[in-house]
Chain A
């Protein structure tokens, strides 16, 4: 029997009457980069907190490297590196002090610890920042130091909660080059949460979480393959009317999301001219393309992954 780095079995968590995780079962394979994709409030953070031993499940089970998160929390913590959304660094201390104290918490000390700090900070290109206070570093550099800290104990599994949140575009690219480097150079498994579909698309496999339920779990290619067609997105002056006419005249199932009409059709590029000619003056823009994870999310949930969901789900966002 293989021991999976992460394995959950009908994992459940409720906060009062609200079900934050609803019978979630999945397994992460050794060495892969695994993404947990979903909107804020979808259950990602709850799942992250349970996997990192910060929160107890209400039902079901979660195992990290074969250890139960509830009954064997110390063993789980020993094989886990955690990168938090808000850095767990002390802003008043220097980079080296933060790394040293971080290492101490995992039982590392002395010359072996210093050697590992040197090695890890060189790999993450922050070796020249040892004596700088963390509060003086940019967000991107702080994230790198944070990752360096979590890598010091050489964990089997690296858990990252929304690692790109709060980073500027350059730092985001940098973060993904680091994840790529980790994937290439070590056997470590990486599990990260994200609400950005392009990040999930970079993972080896991704799970889509929505309202506490696991909607799908597969490689990005296979997930996109669930939609056996291309996707046309149209913006027009009267999206609802446009959708109705598309349905009536072409027989396509059209839906409206945030003022844009969306249809799944085979060979979409060939339809563009037909549509524009059929509804002169009504269409402002047309996009045709291969389905993305965003389209998969819309298909699975009937909602969009983007920001408007946040407003609609305002009451559901509060989490602990």
Chain B
């Protein structure tokens, strides 16, 4: 399948993906931005909370640094994914996007190329951070990786879609930090990344309907398996399934948005 309804598909997908890779490698400071902030979070918050902080039911040998590790992985996915979609705003402002919009490219291809670009960067950065797992006493072997990779990919894709959805209608990058703080960070804070929601608080319900919480659960279960009592919303299988649905819904919404804002289909 190279064309859909007279529009090209895989060529443009590859081209858009490739461009994101080249651009990323040429802007080295983006690597520091997306990887550095979560790393600082992890070290400072993780060490600050320290060994005194313990919730009932946690495995005795799990430090907070280890508990917080998968949450940090999700934060890296979130930061990289969302920051990579800021380029959509730049592309619109600088004019690159208009060249894409007038080309015979299916809206699905525009979205897929852009989301795969963001996903690749997000998964790459998250994996880079995962190299530090053994230092924190977090298990990292073939079995963990086999569970982790699909989880990173699906969650990264969904979060890039979320960022794309926010970025597409914006005219300038100035409002982006505000949206980041009001919408995106709460999604992460309420995902069980930083702390498990207490069983009898309102937060439990907020976590249960937060799609990012299932992403966090999938990543955490990828490291620790389904046995550990981690106060999570779901086991690995359910968490991954919900994340796949989340990703699919984001993709569909992005396509809808591109169709709508392009003027004509």
Contact = CB atoms under 8 A, between A and B. Distances in A.
Given A49-B263, A92-B23, A84 B12 contact: no
B263 A56 contact: yes
Given A70-B264, A77-B104, A105-B15, A88 B6 contact: no
A88 B99 contact: yes
A52 B104 contact: no
A255 B265 CA distance: 48
A52 B11 contact: no
B98 A88 contact: yes
A287 to B, nearest CB: 39
B95 to A, nearest CB: 4
A177 B5 CA distance: 38
B12 A104 contact: yes
A106 B23 contact: no
A104 B99 contact: no
A73 B265 contact: yes
A70 B264 CA distance: 6
Interface string A17-30: 00000000000000
A78 B105 contact: no
A194 interface: no
Given A87-B95, A93-B19, A107-B11, A77 B103 contact: yes
A74 B104 contact: yes
Given A78-B104, A93-B23, A73 B264 contact: yes
Contacts of A77: 7, 102-105
Contacts of A231: none
B27 interface: yes
Contact of A54 (B5, B262, B265): B262
B90 to A, nearest CB: 10
Interface in B6-26: 6-8, 11-12, 14-16, 18-19, 22-23, 26
Given A91-B94, A106-B103, A55 B12 contact: no
A262 to B, nearest CB: 39
B29 interface: no
Interface residues of B, number: 35
Interface string B14-53: 1110110011001100000000000000000000000000
B55 interface: no
A84 B103 CA distance: 13
A108 B12 CA distance: 10
A105 B103 contact: yes
Contacts of B8: 105-107
A273 B224 CA distance: 99
B2 interface: yes
A62 B179 CA distance: 39
A104 B94 contact: no
Contacts of A74: 5-7, 104, 106
B53 to A, nearest CB: 45
Nearest to B9: A107
A89 interface: yes
B3 interface: yes
A9 interface: no
Contacts of A84: 95, 98-99
Contacts of B91: 90
Contacts of B27: 92
B18 A101 contact: yes
A80 B103 CA distance: 8
Contacts of A72: 6
Nearest to B103: A105
A160 interface: no
A171 B6 CA distance: 36
Contact of B102 (A80, A100, A109): A80
Contacts of A52: 102
Contact of A105 (B22, B26, B100, B265): B100
Contact of B105 (A69, A87, A105): A105
Contacts of A226: none
Contact of B263 (A55, A86, A87, A91): A55
12 contacts: A49-B263, A55-B264, A74-B6, A78-B104, A88-B95, A88-B98, A90-B23, A93-B22, A93-B23, A101-B19, A105-B11, A105-B12
Interface of B: 2-3, 5-8, 11-12, 14-16, 18-19, 22-23, 26-27, 91, 94-106, 262-265
Given A105-B8, A108-B11, A149-B99, 9 more contacts: A54-B101, A70-B264, A72-B6, A77-B102, A82-B99, A84-B95, A88-B95, A97-B22, A104-B11
